Amino acid sequence: MPSFDQTRFRLPRGAPADAALAIGVFVLVALVAEGQRLSHGGDSMPSLVVSWLLIMAVCGALLFRRRYPVAVGWFTVLVTGAYYLLSDIDGPLVIVPIVVLYAIAAQGRLQPAVAMAAAMVIGVSAGTLAGNSDINGTAVFMLTGWLVAVVALGNGRHSRVAYAEEEARLRATEERLRIARELHDVIGHNISMINVQAGAARHRLKKDPAPQAEAALSAIEVGSREVLRELRATLDVLRRVDEDAPRAPAPGLGRADELVVSAKLAGLAVRIERTGAERSLPAPVDLAAYRIVQESLTNAARHSRASGVTIRIAYGDRELTVAVEDDGRGAAPRPAGSGGGSGIAGMTERARALGGELTAGPRPEGGFAVRARLPYGSTGEAMEWSDR
């Protein structure tokens, strides 16, 4: 049996929708007008011909409402007014300008919509003052209310659509920034380590070629394998169109030892100090902490000329504190527009996104330090209570 998605009814759109609307409104107006004509009787042939020509003209104008919305709006308002002045049949042709009025307001064209509504009210009011017995003050008041409601509904729809589009743009921008940050952290760290390892190997090969070449190539092989693995994992997440779980686990502090091994291959002596009771961290906090440590090691290897790095991870009751300190000369200042330097900004964005903060700068005793405070949030508090 075919699925519901393949067999469900779909409304027409675009030109077919306009044609369906024009035909539907014409049939409705024609049936009501013909019924009134049969009950009223005595209509002259010229009046009957004029009435039907005006009905067809107003309903036919709906075919062009998307291409020329304001022109079609004024045409339907004026021709509908002429219809009620020249025809003996009081058909519901006013439906057409009301429909067009809503469409114009829904497009955000509030001024033309208000002008058309005002013209309709003024025209009906003038007919009442001229002694038209078919229209009284109550009818004018009701028509005014309907027109105000139609314009308000159309403008409200425009506001909702505009808000939804702006929200979608913001989500797309945030997603692009998140992807850029992830790719920077995933690729930048490993490529930087490979670059450092290759540079160090080039200088060491002159002293002891064979062992140094083997060690350098081994380090580069490990680094390149890691960047390929993380790049594939990231691309796998980007390719997913449903909510299936990713094939590889998300990076976290449980893989901090891998960062230590990679940094040691680049010539850094790295040690990790953990304080507090270790716990299962919320995934966003765990990922942010891992990326901060990763980026800090990258900066230490590339810019500070450090030989030793200390990673301090403190598990608090409500937040995780991460500090990465090196004994180098500190990060070299970079000129504006040099194309680099997005690492600290990316780490700061990660911390702020979790309600935390990050500071980075030279240490008084020398070297460079990155310190981040990452609150667990509601997820972390729930875990804390569940552990009790």
Tell me the pLDDT tens digit for each residue of 221-260: 666 777 777 777 666 666 654 545 455 566 788 888 888 8
Identify whether residues 207 and 64 lie together within a single domain.
no
* pTM above threshold 0.85: no
> For 218, what's the count of Cα atoms within 13 Å in the CB-facing half-sphere?
9
pLDDT of residue 69 exceeding 80: yes
Count of Cβ atoms closer than 10 Å to residue 333 Cβ: 8
pLDDT of residue 324 exceeding 90: yes
Residue 144 falls inside a structural domain: no
Identify whether residues 288 and 183 lie together within a single domain.
yes
Share of the chain above pLDDT 90, in %: 10
- Calculate mean pLDDT across residues 66-89: 82
pLDDT in tens, 326-362: 987 765 444 433 344 457 888 888 899 899 999 998 8
- Calculate mean pLDDT across residues 54-78: 86
pLDDT of residue 281 exceeding 70: yes
pLDDT of residue 208 exceeding 50: yes
Residue 162 falls inside a structural domain: no
Distance separating alpha carbons of residues 299 and 193, to the nearest angstrom: 10
Query: What's the CATH code of the domain at 191?
Result: 3.30.565.10
Tell me what pLDDT residue 359 has: 92
Identify whether residues 85 and 231 lie together within a single domain.
no
Distance separating alpha carbons of residues 17 and 342, to the nearest angstrom: 50
Identify whether residues 130 and 179 lie together within a single domain.
no
Distance separating alpha carbons of residues 76 and 63, to the nearest angstrom: 12
Identify whether residues 297 and 373 lie together within a single domain.
yes
Residue 62 falls inside a structural domain: yes
Share of the chain above pLDDT 70, in %: 69
Residue from 76, 65, 141 nearest 104 by CA = 65
Identify whether residues 213 and 317 lie together within a single domain.
yes
Residue 279 falls inside a structural domain: yes
Identify whether residues 223 and 306 lie together within a single domain.
yes
Residues in the chain: 388
DSSP state of 358: E
- Give the C-alpha distances (Å, rounded to integers) separating 238 from 81, 101, 126, 290: 58, 43, 64, 20
- Structural domain total, the chain: 2
User: Would you say 332 and 362 are in contact if contact means Cβ atoms under 8 Å apart?
Assistant: no
- Calculate mean pLDDT across residues 4-28: 69
Q: In which band, very low, low, confident or very high, does the pLDDT at 370 lie, cut at 50, 70 and 90?
A: very high
- Calculate mean pLDDT across residues 188-208: 67
Identify whether residues 39 and 83 lie together within a single domain.
yes
Count of Cβ atoms closer than 10 Å to residue 124 Cβ: 20
Greater confidence (315 vs 122) lies with 315
Q: In which band, very low, low, confident or very high, does the pLDDT at 211 lie, cut at 50, 70 and 90?
A: low
Identify whether residues 184 and 325 lie together within a single domain.
yes
pLDDT in tens, 89-110: 666 788 888 888 888 888 888 8
Kind of pairing between the strands at 357-362 and 368-375: antiparallel
Domain boundary residue, one of 135, 153, 179 = 135
Widest CA span in the chain: 116
Greater confidence (264 vs 195) lies with 264
> Strands, DSSP E only, in the chain?
269-275, 308-315, 319-326, 357-362, 368-375
pLDDT of residue 119 exceeding 80: yes
Identify whether residues 358 and 308 lie together within a single domain.
yes
Domain boundary residue, one of 117, 135, 153 = 135
pLDDT in tens, 132-191: 555 556 767 777 888 888 888 988 888 888 888 888 888 887 777 777 777 766 666 667
Residue 42 falls inside a structural domain: yes
User: Would you say 360 and 344 are in contact if contact means Cβ atoms under 8 Å apart?
Assistant: yes
Domain boundary residue, one of 115, 135, 155 = 135
Tell me what pLDDT residue 386 has: 37
Mean pLDDT of the chain: 76
Tell me what pLDDT residue 379 has: 46
Identify whether residues 83 and 185 lie together within a single domain.
no
- Calculate mean pLDDT across residues 119-134: 69
Tell me what pLDDT residue 323 has: 93
pLDDT of residue 305 exceeding 80: no
Tell me what pLDDT residue 256 has: 86
What backbone torsions phi and psi does residue 305 show, to the nearest 5 degrees? 55, 40
pLDDT of residue 313 exceeding 60: yes
Distance separating alpha carbons of residues 158 and 171, to the nearest angstrom: 20
Q: In which band, very low, low, confident or very high, does the pLDDT at 80 lie, cut at 50, 70 and 90?
A: confident
Tell me what pLDDT residue 382 has: 37
Tell me what pLDDT residue 90 has: 66
User: Would you say 277 and 222 are in contact if contact means Cβ atoms under 8 Å apart?
Assistant: no
Residue 148 falls inside a structural domain: no
> Six-digit token pair at 136?
């009284």
Identify whether residues 306 and 179 lie together within a single domain.
yes
Residue 142 falls inside a structural domain: no
Residue 140 falls inside a structural domain: no
Identity (one letter) of the amino acid at 320?
L
pLDDT of residue 7 exceeding 60: no
Domain that holds residue 363: 168-332+339-387
- Calculate mean pLDDT across residues 81-91: 73
Distance separating alpha carbons of residues 113 and 73, to the nearest angstrom: 8
